[in-house]
Amino acid sequence: MGHFEESGFVPLNIAVLTVSDTRTEETDKSGLILKESAEQSGHRVVEKAIVKDDVYQMRAVISRWIADPEVHVILSTGGTGITGRDSTPEAVQPLLDKPIEGFGELFRSVSMEDIGASAIQSRAIAGLTNQTLIFCLPGSTGACRTGWDGILKQQLDHRTRPCNFAQMFRA
């Protein structure tokens, strides 16, 4: 049986971070999509925040969540492009103990179905740090839906076979 013993859904504790110089709680549609998608899937969103696209503000919030043993997963949206102040990968990569290289590759592949070759502009990244999974998605609502529906919903469910990220949180 091991990791795959049959049981009901096991909810994870998720924190959601929106990286934006302009969004507020009222206008943060992407963060709301991630929050609602996680909750509709049965997970608990334990915190949600918005920070400016500033490396140090991002690192401060993410580091606090990494240090919190109650946070299993961090989902961020925004700041993964190649223009202006986009700096989420630069903020998060130094915090990762183990990058999940395939996440960005898979995200761009899944995105290709929706947005074609424009998917190449995404610098979506993921990794593991202090037993906390971190997934950084682009800031558009479509990208958040694509990331959740196409990858994260299944990988954060311990019942997904042959393997998933949620296994590491099962006792």
Report if residue 1 sits inside a domain: no
Q: Which CATH number fits the domain that encloses residue 26?
A: 3.40.980.10
Q: Which residues pair with 40 in a beta bridge?
A: none
* pLDDT band at residue 34 under the 50/70/90 scheme: very high
Q: Are 78 and 32 in contact (CB under 8 A)?
A: no
* Residue-range definition of the domain harbouring residue 41: 10-169
Distance, in Å, from the CA atom of 48 to the CA atom of 52, rounded to the nearest integer, reads 14
Distance, in Å, from the CA atom of 34 to the CA atom of 39, rounded to the nearest integer, reads 9
pLDDT in tens, 51-105: 999 999 999 999 999 999 999 999 999 999 998 889 999 999 999 999 999 999 9
pLDDT in tens, 125-143: 999 999 999 999 999 999 9
What are the backbone angles phi and psi of residue 170, rounded to the nearest 5°?
A: -85, 135
Domain count, the chain: 1
Report if residue 3 sits inside a domain: no
pLDDT of amino acid 7: 65
pTM higher than 0.85: yes
pLDDT of amino acid 87: 95
H/E segment holding residue 66: helix 55-67
Length of the chain: 171
